[in-house]
Amino acid sequence: MNMKKYISKKIIKDFVIINVIINGIFYIIGFKNFSGQLTFNDITTDLFIGLMLLGAAGSWIGFVNMRKELQKGKTDVSNFQKSHFYHLLPKATGLRILFLMAITALITLIFFILLPSLLGLDKINHVIGFGFKTITAGLMACVIGYIVIDLSISDYQHQPMPTKDTTVV
């Protein structure tokens, strides 16, 4: 399997599907007893908090799982081209998670809260609210997933290769 296909499958399987399902469940739980006219403003807090929590948890779990998978050596990553930003980003997992949460917050605030508000999206129904939340969860999962995979593979390529002890006793 080529690297692009591998990364695409990992993003969809490990990030998108899980985030869409969890955010969909949170939407249903949060709005199951809601009556009256639903507005876009009603879902923004739920959307923001859900994406931030899943951005943090998804990236943390992603870093752990990718590290384990790469150490098993099931995938050849020797031809992977790391991003130009790899050396600019923090190396500590905790700092990376905070960085990804900041990216999630920025993208969510601009494109999924501010922009719809400026476009006049106000009164919506539950189908639109549910669809908007699950679609934004999927899009953010793609962004977070790609960054996590890129950083994880780049870390793996830069780690020292284990050497065999060849000393004779």
Domain membership of residue 163 (yes or no) is no
Domain membership of residue 34 (yes or no) is no
Domain membership of residue 62 (yes or no) is yes
Task: Provide the number of structural domains found in the chain.
Answer: 1
Asked if residues 19 and 54 have their Cβ atoms less than 8 Å apart, the reply is yes
pLDDT one-digit tens code per residue, 121-165: 888 888 989 999 999 999 999 999 999 999 999 999 888 765 555
Domain membership of residue 118 (yes or no) is yes
Q: Nearest-CA neighbor of 153 among 35, 73, 46?
A: 73
Domain extent, residue 116, equals: 14-26+39-74+90-157
Q: What is the pLDDT of residue 70?
A: 92
Confidence of residue 73 (pLDDT cuts 50, 70, 90): confident
Domain membership of residue 2 (yes or no) is no
Residue 58: burial class (beta carbons within 10 Å; 0-12, 13-18, 19+): buried
Q: Is the pLDDT of residue 30 over 70?
A: yes
pLDDT one-digit tens code per residue, 146-158: 999 999 999 998 8
Domain membership of residue 3 (yes or no) is no
Domain membership of residue 113 (yes or no) is yes
Predicted TM-score (pTM) of this structure? 0.88
Count CA atoms closer than 13 A to 55's CA, side-chain side.
26
What rounded mean pLDDT belongs to the chain?
Answer: 89
Domain membership of residue 54 (yes or no) is yes
Q: What is the pLDDT of residue 162?
A: 56
Confidence of residue 18 (pLDDT cuts 50, 70, 90): very high
